[in-house]
Chains A and B, each alone.
Chain A
Amino acid sequence: MSYRLGVDVGGTFTDLLLISEETGETFTAKVPSTPEDSSIGVLNGVARICDESGVDPAKIKRVMHGTTVATNAVLQGKGAKVGLVTTRGYEQTLQVARSFCPGGLGGWVTFIKNPLLAPLEYTIGADERIGATGDIVRELDEEQLRRDLEKLKASGAIEALTICFINAYINAEHEKKAAAIAREVFSGMPISVSSEVVPEMQEYERTETTVMNSYVRPEMQRYIDNLQAALNKRMGDDLLLSLLRSDGGLASARSAADSPVNMLMSGPAGGVTGAIYFCSRSGFDDILTFDMGGTSTDVALIQNSKARVRRETFVGDVKVRAPSVDVRTVGAGGGSVAFVPELTGALRVGPESAGAVPGPAAYMKGGEKPTVCDANVVLGYLPSDVQLGGKMEISKEAAETAVQTIADALGIGLLEAAEGIIKVVNESMFGALRLVSVEQGYDPRDFSLVCFGGAGPLHANAMGILTDSWPVIIPPGPGVLCAYGDATTTVQNEATRTYIRMAGDTTTEQLLDDLRELHERAAESLIEDGIAKEDFEVVYQADVRYAGQAFELTLDFTADELKSKGIAAVTDQFDTEHDQLFSFKLGDGHEILMIRAVVKAKATDVAHREVGSAGAALADCVIHESRFHYEGNWYGSPLYDRTKLHEGIVVPGPAIVMEMDSTTVILPGHEAKVDRIGNLLINPSK
């Protein structure tokens, strides 16, 4: 019997999921995260889950890991001291950035720019220049660069080095030369080169992304080395450690340590892959994911069980060019604080969050401000009288005291205020769901809404009413779904280059050759990790737009399609999708901006487990009688134990379904059916 282990490290909890590869039997555990060194939390969790399940750690052959180590290094400003080499005249690319001051008119009055990830005092301008077509305008002055680098080294100030030259995305020759010199001068120091990390147009984004890679690299390297060593000690030397990339694929420990910039959205990607895992098996291929945590909510649109990937993402206020699952985040979650500005008398919820410390008032950890969580307690959605496996005690009284302050400020009753808080926060999360659906030309009614994360199932039914996306799906283990995602996805890598040419000027042969080259580059890291070539799945992509548009679409196609249909394999697809989005198409003037090869290892499936239909009647699953408040009325509501629910059981609302780390509310007029996978499917009652 061999096992694989999914581990997701979040801000508050580390979630673990152990799956038997043969039977699909699962065990879960949740332990507190240890932000000072998150490998400690991981190892605690490993000890806990092996202990509780009785599984011998030596039987665990693969550990698949989603981590926020890189993200936290950025958010907490704990990254490396980074030196930077630019083209002379472009030393201040990061200082000027995109010249953007956030906020509306007058936003500049309060805008504070964070310190640069690569300080100007450790930035060197190299005398060199590549032109826009890749032509060499000025040769690299190698001797001068060597002298400057030696001076930088002598200062002893830096721990990682970045090289980014203008137009290097089209000709990397000078960057390569500079990197060779830098390797001689700084032996052993990690060096990130823009044409390797992100060979894409736009100097600010490329510089920032490559600098970001340098910034998180030492921390990530340390973390991975320690974790790998500790896991090997417990699980043996044949253990394979992989990490979840932002785009939902896995990377080997080695390649994660080299390109940590691809791991920054590892957390949200885990949730999305987990949601796809459960929903696709139940036949729901078009879904909206709704991952509501303590401080924020992540939403994404999934079509045909495939997550959309976007090329840019923000970490804090830093924009990074790296492929990531297209997840939108709103600063609204269970810990969001409600308040009423005196003058306008409006009810506001968030973006301030009570976080894990001091936390919502109901948790009695020192928090006194009213939060969304407190409103849930007041209304009875989050029962305070019964706990299931939860270690947190909930005080209804403390929640009421906190929410009463809002009621007083608004001059309304306690329950009305609590309902108000829930409605306002739901509306702002609804806005995020709109941005991924309606704005992209999709009707949310054609999708199912999958709700998970600590607070997702509490708000699920209400969000379903707003989006009209049925059924609303609560997958099994909604609180550890990311760990499911980690454990069930496959190894992946991609290689990209900026192309910028008109489709009409491109021959099929040329495009095929160029893509084949990218294919080989992307495959290198998989081959190094010992994955056999016959286990590769290769998809080609082109980013296309009508010349001059800001908007672009990423289109998937295969080598065979390109061979048989020629360039129309790309352009016809573009016209169709453009027409769907904007109700018009042009039919010519296609510009190919970027081409890409994505290489994946074929999935090595684990056995699927199903909940089965035998077992208890509905009444046997009730653990308690409770009540909740909805739209101005109290409703008696049974509390059900989810672990007892089996396929075919229908839970009529009003009801609350509880499990170890999550609580699902089923509103009056709705019912939840359990499917064979174990998903709860909430629909309006017939």
Chain B
Amino acid sequence: MPARIIETNDAPLKKVEVEGVTADIIENALKNARIEMDAVLFRTAMSPGIREQGDCFPMIANRDGKMVVGQFGSFIGPFMEAYDAEIEEGDIILTNDPYMCNAAVSHLPDWIVLMPVFKDGRHIAWTAMFGHMSDNGGMVPGSIPIKATTIYQEGIRIPPTKLYKKGELQSDVLELILHNVRTSQWNRFDLNALVAACRTASRRCVEMANRFGDDVLNSAMDIMLERNYNAMKFIIQNFIPEEPRTFEDYLCDDGMGMGPYKIKCTMWREGDVAIFDFDGTDPQAQSSVNFYLNEDMFKMFFGSFTINVVDPHIVFNDGFYDLVDVRIPEGTLLKPKFPAALSGRTHALGRLFDVLQALLGSGAPEQMLNAAGFSDSPHLFYSGYDNREGKNGEWFQLFQIGFGGIPGRPIGDGPDGHSLWPGFTNVPNEFIESYFPLRIERYETIPDSGGAGLHRGGNGLSVAYCFLADGDIAIHDERWLMYPWGVMGGQVGQRSTKRIVRVDGSEEWLPSKCDGIPVKTGDLLYFNTWGGGGWGDPLKRDSGLVLDDVRRNLVTVAGARDYGVVIVAGAVDEAATGKLREQMRAERGDTIPTFNIGPSIDEILARCKEETGLDAPVPPVFR
């Protein structure tokens, strides 16, 4: 039975005529409320993950649960279906279990707070926010155990639970939950911050209803949804072909020696409706790399990427969901069956963006197709007891997100060492060094790692971590095997690597997904992320720009040859460049394929050990 909302005032909200300008004002006011939610959260949250990296997302939805402002779309519909309980004024609901909310959140460390907004006893709206907690208990610090085979190993599962009941904090429940995590103080503050943000938005909704009238507010929200519907209808008509278009890409491995895993999507249009069908995607993995994808969330990804074309100032929302049909076969990597492990879902989530933008862009590659880029948020965990003098062996736990190359794009070069994720920023190294037993010896981009192109792919980032205390590390990374592809003649970007130089002088390559790796004081880890693919013909890039990149140490003299540019003694050798470019053109031939995905999987696997120092993954066995 779905959730029931208990109202003391059940007069229905009426649909009323709202003049356009009033709707515009309400749109602005709701947008401001959302900005305020972020501001409140950042100021009160405590963990570096939320406050420094911005790993959190707000939402305001109408009474029916449709998101009117926010980032990742509404999860209230699926949540309500799955939550068999009564909801009253003053209740605040907490959950983290993807299986209990139709994947509204996709792994346990993301905690959602959901709050119904009441005015005069009547339910008028919803506010919600989720944030990535530093720890959720379970097998490993940081709670993203790569080798987990079921969700039970990934820490505490919180079914939809009333954190506040009619305004009363259920402190027994809260303490029970916090007792199960390693960073209870951080989580306590972060959770408090999520609640504060939702309360703020809730107050704004009530104020708006007072100012404009309940019916006007509700009807204006409908108008905002309708605006998105109309805009997306236009986009779908104009950008989605009736002829099916398919793209597939791969997750490199599952952290247990198997891979690669295929993600395949076919897109077409029937009438007004865009269809995305993931038939052909590989079955679910036995480790935690599954990504339980909520269909509505995918619609939001699709919308976000295309809406800017029409009205970049629009307040984006869910109004267009009826125009998109997402089909994900059950039992696949993107819709695993309970109790599959889910915590390492970041990589498939990231890969999905490469697939989506390839599908959308290839209809008009000159204007809309980007290369494959930094479509992931790889991370490093480092934890232990600080055995330095004066530190009293206190527990430390670092979670750091990595950054890499933005791909070459129609608009220009990809920035080096940046984030594809909205709102994410790196944590200052001086901050890390003063709070954790680490010295970051180098923090620089990797020359030549961005794919050559008319527009160069952004370089990956090399971070050299010198550990100053004994501890354990865990690594979650991707694109170490399958290349970040280039487009329109652009070349592939370089893949990622992780090399550790032990204090005894020995060296080893670490796999891209591993945990429980012991490190000693003085060990040095080079965490090198991948570059973005190149966009367009590198032989057409202005040789002066290539020279600039060489002088800036973003491209090497040898790397300049990928552009057909010969650099001698710090200057472009024009004659040699002309000759080399001519020769390369002749060798390449006239047809330039839209996608350059690099060598075939067979070739990649055959050369894996030699090129990466790591054993090639074996084909996945599905159960």
Q: A residues bordering B, Cβ < 8 Å?
A: 88-93, 95-96, 98-101, 103-113, 119-121, 129, 131-132, 137, 166-167, 169, 201-205, 341, 343-348, 410, 412, 416, 419-420, 423-424, 427-428, 430-431, 434-435, 438-439, 500, 546, 548-551, 581-582, 584
In the complex, what distance in Å separates the CA atom of A166 from the CA atom of B441? 10
Report yes or no: A106 in contact with B47, Cβ–Cβ below 8 A.
no
A103 and chain B: residue at smallest CB distance: B422
In the complex, what distance in Å separates the CA atom of A139 from the CA atom of B403? 30
Say whether B292 faces chain A, with CB atoms less than 8 Å apart: no
Say whether B40 faces chain A, with CB atoms less than 8 Å apart: yes
Shortest distance from the beta carbon of A645 to any chain B beta carbon, whole Å: 33
Say whether B346 faces chain A, with CB atoms less than 8 Å apart: no
A427 CB contact (under 8 Å) in B25, B40, B434: B25
Q: Which of A98, A202, A435, A439 has the most CB of B within 10 A?
A: A98
A92 and chain B: residue at smallest CB distance: B444
A101 CB contact (under 8 Å) in B23, B44, B310, B415: B415
- B39-83: contact bitstring with A at CB < 8 Å (1 yes, 0 no)? 110111111000110000000000000000001100000000000
What would be 25 A-B contacts, judged by CB atoms less than 8 Å apart?
A: A92-B443, A96-B443, A96-B444, A99-B417, A108-B373, A108-B419, A109-B308, A112-B412, A131-B433, A132-B433, A166-B429, A167-B433, A343-B230, A343-B310, A345-B227, A348-B24, A420-B20, A424-B25, A424-B28, A427-B24, A430-B29, A439-B36, A548-B185, A549-B46, A584-B192
Shortest distance from the beta carbon of A632 to any chain B beta carbon, whole Å: 11
Known contacts A105-B422, A548-B46, A167 near B21 by CB under 8 Å: no
In the complex, what distance in Å separates the CA atom of A434 from the CA atom of B433? 36
Question: Which of B115-123, B273-281, B550-558 faces chain A?
Answer: B550-558
Which residues on A sit within 8 Å (CB–CB) of B425? 98-100
- B305-323: contact bitstring with A at CB < 8 Å (1 yes, 0 no)? 1001011011010000000
Closest 8 A/B residue pairs (Cβ): A550-B51, A89-B442, A420-B21, A120-B552, A431-B32, A132-B433, A105-B304, A96-B417
Which residues on B sit within 8 Å (CB–CB) of A347? 20-21, 24
Report yes or no: A344 in contact with B227, Cβ–Cβ below 8 A.
yes
Which residues on A sit within 8 Å (CB–CB) of B316? 104
In the complex, what distance in Å separates the CA atom of A101 from the CA atom of B532? 15
In the complex, what distance in Å separates the CA atom of A548 from the CA atom of B192? 14
In the complex, what distance in Å separates the CA atom of A48 from the CA atom of B461? 58
Shortest distance from the beta carbon of B19 to any chain A beta carbon, whole Å: 8
Report yes or no: A99 in contact with B439, Cβ–Cβ below 8 A.
no
Give chain B interface residues in 533-583, CB to chain A under 8 Å. 548, 551-554
B313 and chain A: residue at smallest CB distance: A348
Which residues on B sit within 8 Å (CB–CB) of A438? 36
Which residues on B sit within 8 Å (CB–CB) of A103? 422
In the complex, what distance in Å separates the CA atom of A416 from the CA atom of B29? 20
Known contacts A132-B433, A205-B428, A550 near B20 by CB under 8 Å: no
Known contacts A201-B434, A410-B20, A431-B32, A341 near B311 by CB under 8 Å: yes
Say whether B426 faces chain A, with CB atoms less than 8 Å apart: yes
Which residues on A sit within 8 Å (CB–CB) of B442? 88-90
Which residues on B sit within 8 Å (CB–CB) of A419? 21
Say whether B263 faces chain A, with CB atoms less than 8 Å apart: no
Give chain B interface residues in 1-48, CB to chain A under 8 Å. 20-21, 23-25, 27-29, 31-32, 35-36, 39-40, 42-47
Shortest distance from the beta carbon of B348 to any chain A beta carbon, whole Å: 17
A88 and chain B: residue at smallest CB distance: B442
B303 and chain A: residue at smallest CB distance: A105
A92 CB contact (under 8 Å) in B36, B416, B434: B416
In the complex, what distance in Å separates the CA atom of A430 from the CA atom of B33? 12
Which residues on B sit within 8 Å (CB–CB) of A416? 21
Shortest distance from the beta carbon of B92 to any chain A beta carbon, whole Å: 15
Known contacts A109-B370, A131-B439, A424-B25, A100 near B305 by CB under 8 Å: no
Say whether B622 faces chain A, with CB atoms less than 8 Å apart: no
Q: A96-B444, A550-B43 are in contact. List 14 more A-B contacts (CB 8 A).
A: A90-B443, A120-B552, A167-B433, A202-B431, A205-B428, A341-B311, A343-B310, A346-B314, A416-B21, A423-B24, A424-B21, A431-B31, A435-B35, A548-B47
A549 CB contact (under 8 Å) in B29, B44, B419, B426: B44
Which residues on B sit within 8 Å (CB–CB) of A584? 192
Shortest distance from the beta carbon of B10 to any chain A beta carbon, whole Å: 31
Shortest distance from the beta carbon of B112 to any chain A beta carbon, whole Å: 18
Known contacts A423-B21, A428-B28, A99 near B430 by CB under 8 Å: no
A410 and chain B: residue at smallest CB distance: B20
Report yes or no: B422 in contact with A107, Cβ–Cβ below 8 A.
yes
B437 and chain A: residue at smallest CB distance: A132
In the complex, what distance in Å separates the CA atom of A464 from the CA atom of B150? 58
Known contacts A89-B442, A110-B308, A548-B189, A96 near B430 by CB under 8 Å: no
Report yes or no: B51 in contact with A89, Cβ–Cβ below 8 A.
no
A340 and chain B: residue at smallest CB distance: B20
Say whether B234 faces chain A, with CB atoms less than 8 Å apart: yes
A95 CB contact (under 8 Å) in B23, B313, B417: B417
Say whether B186 faces chain A, with CB atoms less than 8 Å apart: yes
Known contacts A431-B32, A434-B32, A113 near B415 by CB under 8 Å: yes
Shortest distance from the beta carbon of B469 to any chain A beta carbon, whole Å: 13
Which residues on B sit within 8 Å (CB–CB) of A112? 411-412
Which residues on A sit within 8 Å (CB–CB) of B420? 101, 108
Which residues on A sit within 8 Å (CB–CB) of B423? 100
Say whether B510 faces chain A, with CB atoms less than 8 Å apart: no
B418 CB contact (under 8 Å) in A91, A108, A132, A427: A108
B554 and chain A: residue at smallest CB distance: A120
Q: Which of B418, B423, B553 has the most CB of A within 10 A?
A: B418
In the complex, what distance in Å separates the CA atom of A101 from the CA atom of B44? 23
Which residues on B sit within 8 Å (CB–CB) of A205? 428
Report yes or no: B419 in contact with A89, Cβ–Cβ below 8 A.
no
Report yes or no: A550 in contact with B428, Cβ–Cβ below 8 A.
no
Say whether B301 faces chain A, with CB atoms less than 8 Å apart: yes
Give chain B interface residues in 358-393, CB to chain A under 8 Å. 370, 373
Report yes or no: A101 in contact with B418, Cβ–Cβ below 8 A.
yes
Report yes or no: A105 in contact with B444, Cβ–Cβ below 8 A.
no
Which residues on B sit within 8 Å (CB–CB) of A106? 304-305, 308
Known contacts A100-B419, A549-B44, A550-B46, A203 near B428 by CB under 8 Å: yes
Report yes or no: B406 in contact with A108, Cβ–Cβ below 8 A.
yes
Q: Which of A95, A109, A428, A434 has the most CB of B within 10 A?
A: A109
Which residues on A sit within 8 Å (CB–CB) of B433? 131-132, 167
Known contacts A100-B419, A100-B425, A431-B32, A167 near B430 by CB under 8 Å: yes
Known contacts A500-B434, A550-B43, A99 near B24 by CB under 8 Å: no
In the complex, what distance in Å separates the CA atom of A549 from the CA atom of B231? 41
Shortest distance from the beta carbon of A443 to any chain B beta carbon, whole Å: 12
Which residues on B sit within 8 Å (CB–CB) of A581? 43
B532 and chain A: residue at smallest CB distance: A108
Known contacts A100-B424, A435-B36, A341 near B313 by CB under 8 Å: yes
Say whether B132 faces chain A, with CB atoms less than 8 Å apart: no
A549 and chain B: residue at smallest CB distance: B46
Q: Which of B72, B300, B444 has the most CB of A within 10 A?
A: B444
Say whether B196 faces chain A, with CB atoms less than 8 Å apart: yes
Say whether B616 faces chain A, with CB atoms less than 8 Å apart: no
Report yes or no: A104 in contact with B422, Cβ–Cβ below 8 A.
yes
Which residues on B sit within 8 Å (CB–CB) of A431? 28-29, 31-32, 35
In the complex, what distance in Å separates the CA atom of A343 from the CA atom of B443? 45
Which residues on B sit within 8 Å (CB–CB) of A424? 21, 24-25, 28
In the complex, what distance in Å separates the CA atom of A344 from the CA atom of B230? 7
Say whether B355 faces chain A, with CB atoms less than 8 Å apart: no
Say whether B464 faces chain A, with CB atoms less than 8 Å apart: yes
Which residues on A sit within 8 Å (CB–CB) of B39? 435, 439
Which residues on B sit within 8 Å (CB–CB) of A132? 430, 433-434, 439
B45 CB contact (under 8 Å) in A96, A111, A550: A550
Report yes or no: A344 in contact with B314, Cβ–Cβ below 8 A.
yes
Give chain B interface residues in 316-360, CB to chain A under 8 Å. 316
Report yes or no: B28 in contact with A427, Cβ–Cβ below 8 A.
yes
In the complex, what distance in Å separates the CA atom of A345 from the CA atom of B443? 47
